[in-house]
Structure 1
């Protein structure tokens, strides 16, 4: 009896496992969708002319025969223009029998790239493969970046914001290059609140990735009751536009202020 009971139990275990394996095999329609994520980011570097990115798609099961798939742009929500800002290299592609995936290539043109993000929204079309109910939109966001270049950081700048309130938005400030090749000075010659405005300045040191450190060459003398305060800080510059954004600027023990400038 024990032997018979064991055989019956073994039969049921085998039957359950067989049912489980059968349930995992999908034999329905090879629905079309973006199969490796629905969002992407890219950078077009100045001087390269363009950057090409891949956009992957797939079907939930292998095709029985070859089929054409088309990548289309949703112009109602995209702010980049096809043919001007980007090109779809292979707008129509073939998925062969037995395959379950493919890819499109999109060329992002430097001429149309901007520092502010541009967005392209893609969808999939096919006359022979139905679309899935999921992952039907791919959003590509891209920006323009420029390599290290200290040249833009000189001349007259306009104040965007100064939470320490030495300056008002719209005030003009002089920026000079040097003394090191990766440094520039933000002069204080029109800062009416300090007595040493003719000699004091913020020395900004720029790293290859655009991050900056700030240190005053001497304490800014605000007179009584504030006294003299050393200035320090950190932030980021934009090599494309020449903008300066000191996201954390400290005056002595007074910490956490912001100071932003754009070329005039």
Structure 2
């Protein structure tokens, strides 16, 4: 009796499983969508000329016949311009019968790439495959990156921010090569508040990741009740543009200390 009950139960479970599997079979329209994520990130490295970003798309089920699918740019929200910043290698591709999708390639051009992200928003179009109600927008963000290079860090720079207030925005500062291959000097020759402007400078040491540490070669002499102050600090530099961002500039001496000052410079 127990054996018969077990067989009945097993048959019932099998029938439930079969009904479940049958219910999961989809026989409707294929429907077009971005099938491997709707966001992408890419980097164009300096000296490469361009890089290729792949964008995948798919259909809910395989096609019964060949169809054309087009990748189009939403110009209303994209910040990059087709033909200037990027090119779609083949804007229209064929999905053959039995296939469930394909891939587009987008060529990102170094000449107009920037360290600030540019954005391209894509959509899918087809005259024979209806669009799904999901995953219809693909957002590609890309930036330019440069390898460790000390060459940009020399010449005349313009002050953007100085919360210590030795300089005003727009003042010019001279930058020269430093004592070692990965160092540069920010000279004090245009600093109106110190008496040793001709001999003092900030010595900036650059790491491979663009982070920097700085010290003063000698205390800056502000005279009066302030006296001399030694400098230290940290921040970042941009290997592509040569921009200098000292985000944590500290002064200390007998008169006291001041920490967390900002000193931001860009190439003039």
Superposition TM-score, scaled by structure 2 size: 0.89
Quote the residue 2:263 is aligned against.
259
Within 5 A, what are the aligned runs for 1:20-31? Answer: 20-31=20-31
Aligned to 1:209: 209
Higher mean C-alpha deviation, range 182-191 or range 250-259: 250-259
What is the deviation of 1:15? 2.0
User: Residues 169 and 128 of structure 1: is their aligned pair in 2 closer, same or farther, counting only changes over 3 Å?
Assistant: same
Quote the residue 1:250 is aligned against.
250
- 1:212 alignment partner, SS class: strand
Secondary structure at 1:20's aligned position in 2?
helix
Q: 1:87, CA displacement in angstroms?
A: 1.1
Count of residue correspondences: 264
Q: Report deviation, 1:123.
A: 0.6
Decide whether aligned partners of structure 1 residues 80 and 12 sit closer, same or farther in structure 2, where only a CA change above 3 A counts.
same
Deviates more, 1:38-47 or 1:88-97: 38-47
**Structure 2 unaligned regions, length at least 5:** none
Change (3 A) 1:256 1:22: farther
Q: Whole-Å Cα distance in 2 between the matches of residues 162 and 250 of structure 1?
A: 12
By how many angstroms is 1:224 displaced? 5.5
2:227 is the counterpart of 1:237: no
Q: After superposition, give the CA deviation of every residue in 1:117-176 in whole Å (9 maximum; x if it has no partner).
A: 222111111111111111111111222233333222222211111122222212221111
Q: Distance in 2 between matches of 1:13 and 1:222?
A: 88
Identify the residue that residue 71 of structure 1 maps to in structure 2.
71
Shift of residue 94, structure 1, vs aligned partner = 1.4
Question: Superposed, which structure 2 residues align to 1:66-105 within 5 Å?
Answer: 66-105=66-105
- Which stretch of structure 1 is more off in the superposition, 88-97 or 17-26? 17-26
Query: Which deviates the most, 162-171 or 177-186?
Result: 162-171
Q: What is the rounded CA distance, in whole Å, between the counterparts of 1:27 and 1:77 in structure 2?
A: 36
Task: Name the SS of the counterpart of 1:106 in structure 2.
Answer: strand
TM-score scaled to structure 1, two decimals?
Answer: 0.91
1:182-193 counterparts in 2 under 5 A?
Answer: 182-193=182-193
Between 4-13 and 94-103, report the one with greater CA deviation: 4-13
